[in-house]
Amino acid sequence: MYKVIKYFTDLHDKDHPYNVGDTFPRAGIEVTEERLKELAGSDNKQGTPLIELVEEKKPSSQKAPAKRTAAKASTKK
């Protein structure tokens, strides 16, 4: 999944506007790897990256182990 980092209108999608924070591409639109590279790099009409790859977080099936704290030793004299 890609996230828009700079406003642009997609010339390959009937000038559809993409605002900062939008997901690219929008639902129902197929985009080539070449187009993704173009928009994520500076080889586009704005000359600057317009989208960035967002790593999707997968839910963990295992729970993280509980943290244990060391008990303080009593120093009574």
* Whether pTM exceeds 0.85: no
pLDDT digits (tens, 9 = 90+) for 30-55: 999 999 999 999 999 999 999 999 98
- What pLDDT is attached to residue 55? 86
Q: In the block, which residue shows the tokens 């080539």?
A: 32
Q: Where are the alpha helices (DSSP H) in 1-77?
A: 33-40
CA distance 31 to 24: 9
For the record, the structure tokens of 33 come out as: 């790897």
Residue 21 three-state SS: coil
CA distance 14 to 30: 13
Residue 24, pLDDT above cutoff 70: yes
